[in-house]
Amino acid sequence: MRIAFNSRFKYVLMVFFCVMIWGTAYPAVRWLSLSGVNAYLIVCMRVLFSFLFSCLLLVFTRTKINVSQIKRNFWPFALLGICGSAGFLTLMTLGLQFTEAGKGSFLVGVNPIYIVLLSALFLGESLNVRKLMGVMVAIVGVFFTLIGSDIVKGVPVTFSSSDFILILAGVLWATYTLLSRKFGHRLDYFQGLFLMFGISSLVILPMFIKLWPEFTALSGKQLFWALWCGFMPGGFGYFLWNKGINVLGASTCGMINSFLAVFSTIFSVIFLHESMVWLQLLGGALVVFGVLQGINNTSMPVNYETGRSVDEE
């Protein structure tokens, strides 16, 4: 039992770290938008820099491209690239032009409930009252974390039609998570990232060529944060997430993804100087409680790396 706990804890910690890195993307993208960078250029840079990261992974790990495997899995990974990279990043970036980073991460961050329900329906992963209650508590915590400041200050919490762009982004991310669980193990992680971001790069390349003059006019600070979003929340974050899904399953990773709102709020306070109030701290505590409630004593699905559940290792 101790070995199983340690094995599970290791992967949970890995996905938790992944979500923490992703929490930096929302304030970074929001800052880039506020500094005048074209939203479509932000998307192009995130995708292309993520592709560059995947190429560097292949070089430094000396991974050889298996052309026959890539041909057999081209269309599933094309769908992964469209949903989880080009499509999701486009909707997220466009949405953050009109919505604060904290609120934006809330609208996308409700996707754990989509992931838990859809993974039970389509992937056959376990769904019990404990997990469902954990998701609901975490979502309440997410709400308080991101909207708590407005509630305490008496500012009306409003949602506009543009917010549906971020809701749709969350749906795309939930779809990507399920597809990654189903197809992601067909290629090793390095080749999978290379193919996924490579396809996404081909999709947005014409747009990037058109925006090349704007790219060359970026300041050093703008380029740094674009590189950060492409390398860390992009390439490295996707690598950790895909590995976690293959081991822990979609629903467990989806629940851990509830922490995205907490980290996004914290980093927005640090980098964008947004305020934090006691209700947001309460929300963060509810997220922690809800996630622990949902994943504790929950049976793990098959670990695609070994063919057994992580609890049996």
Ranges 23-37, 187-201, 263-277, 298-312: which has the least confidence: 298-312
Q: Which residue has the higher pLDDT, 100 or 11?
A: 11
What pLDDT is attached to residue 2?
39
pLDDT reading at 225 higher than 90: yes
pLDDT reading at 242 higher than 60: yes
Alpha helices in 154-188 (DSSP H): 163-183
Kindly state the average pLDDT of the residues 218-234. Answer: 93
pLDDT reading at 133 higher than 80: no
Kindly state the average pLDDT of the residues 137-145. Answer: 66
What pLDDT is attached to residue 210?
95
Tokens of 42: 């932000």
Binned at pLDDT 50, 70 and 90, residue 205 comes out as: very high
What pLDDT is attached to residue 99?
58
Shortest CA distance to 173 belongs to which of 259, 83, 263, 254?
83
Binned at pLDDT 50, 70 and 90, residue 17 comes out as: very high
d(CA 85, CA 78): 10
Q: Where are the domains of the chain?
A: 2-312
Kindly state the average pLDDT of the residues 160-174. Answer: 74
Dihedral sign, CA of 223, 229, 235, 240? positive
d(CA 205, CA 157): 38
pLDDT reading at 291 higher than 50: yes
What pLDDT is attached to residue 1?
33
Tokens of 176: 């990507």
Ranges 169-173, 214-218, 265-269: which has the least confidence: 265-269
Ranges 118-122, 229-233, 296-300: which has the least confidence: 296-300
- Amino acid identity at 175: T
pLDDT reading at 119 higher than 60: yes
Binned at pLDDT 50, 70 and 90, residue 121 comes out as: confident
Q: Which residue has the higher pLDDT, 18 or 140?
A: 18
Mean of pLDDT over the chain: 79
Binned at pLDDT 50, 70 and 90, residue 129 comes out as: confident
- Amino acid identity at 255: M
User: Hey, is 309 helix, strand or coil?
Assistant: strand
Burial of residue 259, with CB atoms counted within 10 A of its CB: 0-12 exposed, 13-18 middle, 19 or more buried: buried
DSSP 312: G
Residue whose tokens read 């998701």:
135
Tokens of 95: 């949405």
Q: Which residue has the higher pLDDT, 147 or 43?
A: 43
What pLDDT is attached to residue 3?
36
d(CA 240, CA 242): 6
Query: Facing residues of 124 across strands?
Result: none
